[in-house]
Amino acid sequence: MTINVKNELLKRLFEANGSPISGQEFADEFGLSRTAIWKYIKEFEEEGYGITSIRKKGYVLTHSPDRVNAANIQKHLKTKMYGHNITYYESCSTTQTIAHDDAQSGAPDGTLIIAEEQTAGKGRLARPWSSAARKGIWMSLIIRPSLMPQQAPQMTLVAAVAIVRAIEEVVKIEATIKWPNDIMIKGKKITGILTELQSDPDRVKAIIIGIGMNINHDMEDFPEEIQSIATSLKLESGETIDRSRLIAEILSFLELYTHMYEKHGFSPIKLLWEGYSNTAGKRIKAVMLNETIEGVALGISEDGLLEVKQDDGSIRGIYSADIIV
Ligand code: BTN
């Protein structure tokens, strides 16, 4: 993998934890001139980093802006593959389309496309997805697991469990999963997941997991029409969240659970998922494209379908629906 020297320099500045990094040594290591290093330092300052230059010692990072760029995420990263290759945008239309293109051109397993803002974010069923600048996590992860195409939809549930675990770990609050792709706190949505597939008839080539999370929004950061149904981690916890740390944690759990799914099948994930579900055991309405059914949600099947016991006693497996609890 080719190293992005600018990212590497920023990473070293972070890792030095307040100690100076020698510009000369870094320049020698990467075969660059001192001027090239100085130009990177100027660019960092323009991006909002505070960097002090100490004579004969080097550069010290004194302040970093709240950005979900590669260096900020990678300083927390504990994974083997996921998040080692990151493409970062201040603004883009949708990370999902960029991820599809990158996957087609051979991006490695675990490549992350992330943006501070999306101007045309999309949700399930091509609904618009509001993605305010620097308030949330708007990212698409390209993974290449050894799965068959029919096992791909369950990756939405794998991702949901990973996200809830990461929120528990970093924010210390409990979130629940509303089948198939919503993460909720006290009945309001904080996260949506959009799983898309690139596949041969008998083999997954890539799965693109799009994750949209409302993190540091105040209520006025949401469009008026979703203010009654959406919330953010900041609104629920009363604290501003370190988005980069949360992303690194999500990538860790996602890597762990994806490998678990590849190795041991869906059963262990199903157990975890059912523990976090706010749907199982409740009376629900499932609104599908052509019909609406009512009944008690029993849980999910081995292939990720929601099983609903209707009033006549029959059990229906549902592929996709809007669930009203
Ligand atoms: C949903 O709940 O309908 C799914 C929302 C998924 C939104 C994310 S944000 C990052 C990625 N890029 C997009 O345009 N959509 C997904």
Mean pLDDT, to the nearest integer, of 130-151? 97
Instruction: Report pLDDT for 75.
Output: 87
Judgement on whether residues 209 and 95 belong to the same structural domain of the protein = yes
Which residues are CB-neighbours of 184 under 8 A, at least 6 positions away? 175, 176, 177, 178, 190, 278
Tell me if residue 200 falls in helix, strand or coil.
Answer: strand
What are the tokens at 296?
Answer: 């008690």
**Alpha-helix residue ranges (DSSP H) falling in the chain:** 5-15, 23-30, 34-46, 70-74, 95-104, 155-171, 233-237, 243-264, 267-276
Q: How many angstroms separate the alpha carbon of residue 142 from the centre of ligand 1?
A: 14
Domain with 22, as residue range(s), is 5-63
Task: State phi, psi for 299 to the nearest 5 degrees.
Answer: 155, -160
Judgement on whether residues 58 and 74 belong to the same structural domain of the protein = no
Judgement on whether residues 258 and 289 belong to the same structural domain of the protein = no
Q: How far, in Å, CA of 258 to CA of 203, rounded?
A: 16
> How many domains does the chain contain in total?
3
* DSSP assigned state of 39: H
What distance separates the 2 farthest-apart alpha carbons in the chain? 81
**pLDDT category of residue 303 using cuts at 50, 70 and 90:** confident
Minimal CA–CA distance to 277: which of 304, 247, 295, 250? 304
* DSSP assigned state of 90: S
Which residues are CB-neighbours of 322 under 8 A, at least 6 positions away? 286, 287
Residue located nearest, by CA, to atom 15 of ligand 1:
122
Which CATH number belongs to the domain containing residue 299 in this structure? 2.30.30.100
Amino acid at 281: G
Alpha carbon 14 to its chain centroid, in Å, reads 22
Judgement on whether residues 194 and 298 belong to the same structural domain of the protein = no
* pLDDT tens, residue by residue, 246-302: 999 999 999 999 999 999 999 999 999 999 999 889 999 999 989 999 999 999 998
Judgement on whether residues 204 and 310 belong to the same structural domain of the protein = no
Tell me if residue 162 falls in helix, strand or coil.
Answer: helix
**pLDDT category of residue 2 using cuts at 50, 70 and 90:** low
The residue whose CB lies within 8 Å of the most ligand 1 atoms, and thus the one to mutate among 194, 243, 250, is 194
From 45, 63, 81, give the residue that closes a domain.
Answer: 63
Judgement on whether residues 229 and 93 belong to the same structural domain of the protein = yes
Judgement on whether residues 55 and 79 belong to the same structural domain of the protein = no
Judgement on whether residues 175 and 245 belong to the same structural domain of the protein = yes
Judgement on whether residues 59 and 155 belong to the same structural domain of the protein = no
Q: Is the peptide bond before 180 cis (omega within 30 degrees of 0)?
A: yes
Q: Is residue 189 annotated as involved in ligand binding?
A: yes
Judgement on whether residues 214 and 302 belong to the same structural domain of the protein = no
The residue whose CB lies within 8 Å of the most ligand 1 atoms, and thus the one to mutate among 211, 213, 322, is 211
Judgement on whether residues 249 and 302 belong to the same structural domain of the protein = no
Which CATH number belongs to the domain containing residue 267 in this structure? 3.30.930.10
Residue located nearest, by CA, to atom 16 of ligand 1:
210
Mean predicted lDDT score pLDDT of the chain: 95
Q: What is the pTM of this model?
A: 0.88
Mean pLDDT, to the nearest integer, of 132-157? 96
Q: How many angstroms separate the alpha carbon of residue 37 from the centre of ligand 1?
A: 37
Minimal CA–CA distance to 320: which of 126, 180, 115? 180
Task: State phi, psi for 256 to the nearest 5 degrees.
Answer: -60, -50
What are the tokens at 218?
Answer: 């105040």
